[in-house]
Amino acid sequence: MKTAYDILKEASKINRSVIAAEVDGHAVDLTHKVAEGSEVKPLTFDDPEGKKIFWHTASHVLAAAVKRLYPSAKLTIGPAIENGFYYDIDSDIPFTPDILEKIETEMANIIKEDAKEERFTLPRDEAIALMEQQDEPYKVLLIGRVDEDEEISFYRQNEFVDLCAGPHLYSTGLIKAFKVLQCTGAYWEGNSENKMLQRIYGVAFTKKSDLDAYVARIEEAKKRDHRKLGRELDLFDIHDEGPGFPFFLPKGMILRNLLEDFWHEEHRKNGYQEIKTPIILNQELWHRSGHWDHYKDNMYTTKIDDVDYALKPMNCPGGMLVFKRKIHSYRDLPQRLAELGLVHRHELSGALHGLMRVRCFTQDDAHIFMTPEQTEDEIIGVMNLVDKFYNIFGFKYKMELSTRPENSMGSDEQWEIATEALRRALDKTGKPYIINEGDGAFYGPKIDFHLEDSLGRTWQCGTIQLDFQMPERFDLNYIGQDNERHRPIMIHRVVFGSIERFIGILTEHYAGAFPLWLAPVQIQLLPITDSNNDYCDSVYEKLTASGFRTECDKRNEKIGYRIREAQLAKIPYMLVLGDKEQSAGAVAVRSRKEGDKGIVMSVDEFIASAVAEVKERRNT
CATH code, residues 523-615? 3.40.50.800
Helix (H) or strand (E) holding 307: strand 307-311
With a CB cutoff of 8 Å and minimum separation 6, the contacts of 423 are 401
Judge contact between 517 and 492, C-beta under 8 A. Answer: no
Beta-carbon count within 10 A of 169 CB: 24
- DSSP string of 89-102? EE-SS---HHHHHH
**Average pLDDT value for residue range 411-433:** 90
Give 462-491 pLDDT, tens digit per residue: 999 988 888 998 999 999 999 999 999 999
Among left, alpha and beta (phi > 0; psi -120 to 50; other), residue 209 is alpha
Share of the chain above pLDDT 90, in %: 80
Q: Exposure pattern of 488-523 as b/e (b: 16+ CB <10 Å)?
A: bbbbbbbbbbbbbbbbbbbbbbbbbbbbbbbbbbbb
C-alpha dist (Å) from residue 214 to 43, 102, 204, 457, 475:
22, 22, 10, 11, 52
Give me the chain's average pLDDT, please. 93
Q: Does CATH number 3.40.640.10 belong to domain 256-509?
A: no
pLDDT (tens digit per residue) in 424-436: 999 998 899 999 8
pLDDT of residue 587: 96
Q: How many CB atoms lie within 10 A of CB 354?
A: 21
Strands of the sheet with 152-157, listed across from one edge: 118-122, 152-157, 160-163
- Per the CB < 8 A criterion, the answer to whether 610 and 573 are in contact is yes
Percent residues over pLDDT 70 in the chain: 100
Going by C-beta distance under 8 Å and a sequence separation of 6 or more, which residues neighbour residue 153?
Answer: 119, 120, 121, 163, 164, 165, 166
Q: Which residues are catalytic?
A: 316, 345, 363, 365, 367, 446, 492
Q: What is the pLDDT of residues 173-218, one digit of tens each?
A: 999 999 999 999 988 988 878 999 999 999 999 999 999 999 998 8
3-state secondary structure of 205: strand
Q: What is the predicted pLDDT for the residue at 597? A: 73
Say whether pLDDT at 49 is over 90. Answer: yes
Residue 146: band (very low, low, confident or very high) from pLDDT cuts 50, 70, 90 = confident
Helix (H, G, I), strand (E, B) or coil at 477: coil
Residue extents of the structural domains in the chain: 45-220, 256-509, 523-615
Q: Is the pLDDT of residue 409 over 80?
A: no
- The whole-number pLDDT of residue 410 equals 79
pLDDT tops 80 at residue 598 = no
Integer distance in angstroms from the first to the last C-alpha of the chain? Answer: 59
pLDDT at 407 over 80: no
Res. 353: pLDDT tops 80: yes
| Residue 352: φ, ψ to 5° | -65, 140
Neighbour tally for 481: CB within 10 Å = 10
Q: What is the mean pLDDT of residues 514-518?
A: 97
List, for residues 89-115, the tens digit of each pLDDT value: 999 999 999 999 999 999 999 999 998
**Are the C-beta atoms of residues 285 and 468 closer than 8 Å to each other?**
no
Tell me which residue of 183, 508, 506, 501 sits closest to 354, measured CA to CA: 501
* Residue 38 CA, distance from chain mean position: 36
Q: Examine the pLDDT at 414 and tell me if it is beyond 90.
A: no
**Has residue 493 got a pLDDT over 80?**
yes
Total number of residues shown for the chain: 620
pLDDT band at 586 (very low <50, low <70, confident <90, very high): very high
CA distance 543 to 574: 13
Crossing angle for the helix pair 250-269 and 375-392, nearest 10 degrees? 140
Dihedral of the alpha carbons of 167, 171, 174, 177, in degrees to the nearest 10: 90
| Average pLDDT of span 284-300 | 88
pLDDT band of 525, cuts 50, 70, 90: very high
Q: What is the CATH number that goes with domain 45-220?
A: 3.30.980.10
Query: Following DSSP, what letter does each residue of 226-250 receive, concatenated?
Result: HHHHHHHTTSEE--TTSTT--EE-H
Read off the pLDDT of each residue in 27-47 and give the average, rounded to a whole number: 91
On the question of pLDDT at 340 being above 80, the answer is yes
Same fold, 45-220 and 523-615: no
* Mean pLDDT, range 360-374, rounded to an integer: 95
**Rounded CA gap, 460 and 397, in Å?**
9
Residue 456 has pLDDT above 80, yes or no: yes
Band of the pLDDT at 455, cuts 50, 70, 90?
confident
Would you place residue 289 in the very low, low, confident or very high pLDDT band (cuts 50, 70, 90)? confident
Coil/strand/helix, residue 167: coil
Asked whether residue 55 carries a pLDDT value surpassing 90, the answer given is: yes
**Mind listing the pLDDT tens digit for each residue in 241-286?**
999 999 999 999 999 999 999 999 999 999 999 999 999 999 999 9
